[in-house]
């Protein structure tokens, strides 16, 4: 086997041209690079077509899995400020995808639910995203993608430890 000067080194930067060096093992850096790809997958798969921001899609899906949840719980889940959630919810409700109903037990709070249209949009987007991830992330086997999701989930779960530390 002669060496192949044309094939990029395995610590090359995604766009090629540069080497990653020590960054190869820095999770934060690899995450940022992977995010570039994954964000584009979202945009190509459904974002551009539906005009739905990544965050709006996530809101739909979280409300779908947690019917009756409140704005405050979504802000905590996504680690964003409450004025920010107010803004995003305003957008998805004005699009007729989520509806707010006043809570009977707590008159400050609103319960959130998908509308029929929101349900349809959420389903369609999820299918499109899944297909696009399948297609673009073809370098990863189905098993590898499952492991990746699992490991990322574990990383996300480390948030509790961090928040304890910061308190």
Partner DNA sequence: TATTGTTATACTCTATAACTATA
Partner DNA sequence: TATAGTTATAGAGTATAACAATA
Q: In the complex, which residues of this chain contact DNA (CB under 7 A)?
A: 53, 55, 70-73, 79-90, 100, 105-110
Nearer to a copy of itself, 50 or 126 (CB): 126
Nearer to DNA, 22 or 94 (CB): 94
Q: Find the shortest distance in angstroms from Cβ 51 to DNA.
A: 11
Return the ∠ at Cα 122 (arms to 132 and 45), rounded to 5°.
20
Q: Find the shortest distance in angstroms from Cβ 88 to DNA.
A: 7
DSSP letters for 134-152: HHHTTTS-HHHHHHHHHHH
If 0-12 CB within 10 Å is exposed, 13-18 middle and 19+ buried, where does residue 92 land? Answer: buried
142 binds, among DNA, a copy of itself, none (CB under 5 to 8 A by kind): none
Nearer to DNA, 72 or 147 (CB): 72
42 C-beta neighbours (distance < 10 Å), count? 20
116 binds, among DNA, a copy of itself, none (CB under 5 to 8 A by kind): none
Q: Find the shortest distance in angstroms from Cβ 92 to DNA.
A: 12
Q: Find the shortest distance in angstroms from Cβ 35 to a copy of itself.
A: 6
**Phi/psi at 100 (nearest 5 deg)?**
-105, 135
136 binds, among DNA, a copy of itself, none (CB under 5 to 8 A by kind): a copy of itself
Instruction: Find the radius of gyration of the CA atoms of the chain.
Output: 20
**Phi/psi at 37 (nearest 5 deg)?**
-65, -50
166 binds, among DNA, a copy of itself, none (CB under 5 to 8 A by kind): a copy of itself
71 binds, among DNA, a copy of itself, none (CB under 5 to 8 A by kind): DNA
d(CA 73, CA 122): 20
d(CA 16, CA 7): 10
Task: Determine the 3-state secondary structure of 20 from DSSP.
Answer: coil
Q: Find the shortest distance in angstroms from Cβ 120 to DNA.
A: 23
């Amino acid at each position: 086997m002669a060496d192949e000067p044309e094939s990029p080194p395995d610590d090359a930067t995604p766009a090629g041209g540069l080497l990653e060096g020590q960054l190869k093992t820095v999770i934060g850096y690899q995450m940022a690079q992977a995010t570039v790809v994954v964000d584009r997958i979202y945009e190509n798969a459904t974002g551009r077509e539906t005009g739905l921001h990544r965050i709006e899609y996530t809101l739909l899906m979280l409300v779908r899995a947690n019917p009756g949840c409140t704005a405050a719980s979504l802000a905590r889940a996504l680690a964003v400020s409450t004025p920010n959630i107010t803004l995003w919810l305003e957008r998805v409700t004005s699009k007729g995808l989520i509806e707010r109903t006043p809570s009977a037990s707590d008159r400050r709070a609103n319960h959130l639910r998908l509308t029929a249209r929101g349900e349809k949009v959420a389903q369609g987007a999820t299918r499109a995203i899944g297909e696009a991830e399948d297609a673009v992330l073809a370098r990863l086997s189905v098993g590898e993608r499952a492991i990746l999701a699992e490991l990322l989930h574990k990383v996300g779960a480390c948030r509790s430890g961090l928040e304890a530390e910061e308190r």
